[in-house]
């Protein structure tokens, strides 16, 4: 039987595949016309939409039953993505640690931090949209 953790990893693999295809399409079809930075800006929005779509489609299957578990799945995705991106950048693409870090630094034009935020909260947002949880804001 699959656990929430195992299902979370499986869904993360789907997200990474979708985002990898998305990134390749962005570089091939969008960058030549609008440039790297503008294509990255568009990519953050479309990438966030992809992440949310996969999350909404899979949140029931993941089986998380509480906001805490859903946040745990989001944090799992964050750690896996940071590891994947860092290892891919360093070992496969040969980027320096400085260049990899710049991708995550919003103050230096790196937009990946926005995508990582969406990735982290998307299980909770998806569960809310699907009516699996009720979020209430405490007022005093």
- Residue that has been written with the tokens 């290892």 in this structure: 87
pTM of the model: 0.88
Q: How many CB atoms lie within 10 A of CB 35?
A: 11
**For residue 134, is it within any domain?**
no
Domain count, the chain: 1
- Give tens-digit pLDDT for 5-48: 999 999 999 999 999 999 999 999 999 999 988 998 899 999 99
Q: How many CB atoms lie within 10 A of CB 106?
A: 11
The mean of the pLDDT values for the chain is 90
**For residue 10, is it within any domain?**
yes
Choose the weakest-confidence range: 15-19, 89-93, 123-127.
89-93
| 68-93 average pLDDT score | 92
Q: What pLDDT is attached to residue 14? A: 98
Residue 135 confidence class, pLDDT cut points 50, 70, 90? low
Determine the structural domain holding residue 107 and report its residue range: 4-129
Q: Which of 41, 20, 19 is nearest to 30 (CA)?
A: 41
**For residue 21, is it within any domain?**
yes
**For residue 135, is it within any domain?**
no
Measured on CA atoms in the order 47, 16, 108, 31, is the torsion positive or negative? negative
Q: What pLDDT is attached to residue 99? A: 81
**For residue 9, is it within any domain?**
yes
Residue 85 confidence class, pLDDT cut points 50, 70, 90? confident
**For residue 84, is it within any domain?**
yes
**For residue 136, is it within any domain?**
no
Residue 134 confidence class, pLDDT cut points 50, 70, 90? confident
**101 vs 96: CA distance, rounded Å:** 9
């Amino acid at each position: 039987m699959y656990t929430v953790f195992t299902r979370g990893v499986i869904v993360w693999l789907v997200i990474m595949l979708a985002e990898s295809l998305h990134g390749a399409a962005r570089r091939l079809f969008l960058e030549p016309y609008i440039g790297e930075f503008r294509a990255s800006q568009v990519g953050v929005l479309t990438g966030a939409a992809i992440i949310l779509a996969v999350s909404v489609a899979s949140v029931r299957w993941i089986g998380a039953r509480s906001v805490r578990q859903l946040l745990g799945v989001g944090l799992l995705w964050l750690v896996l993505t940071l590891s994947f991106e860092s290892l891919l950048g360093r070992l496969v693409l040969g980027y320096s640690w400085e260049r990899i870090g710049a991708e995550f630094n919003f103050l230096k034009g790196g937009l990946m931090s926005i995508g990582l935020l969406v990735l982290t909260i998307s299980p909770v947002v998806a569960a809310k949209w699907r009516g699996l949880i009720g979020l209430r804001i405490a007022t005093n």
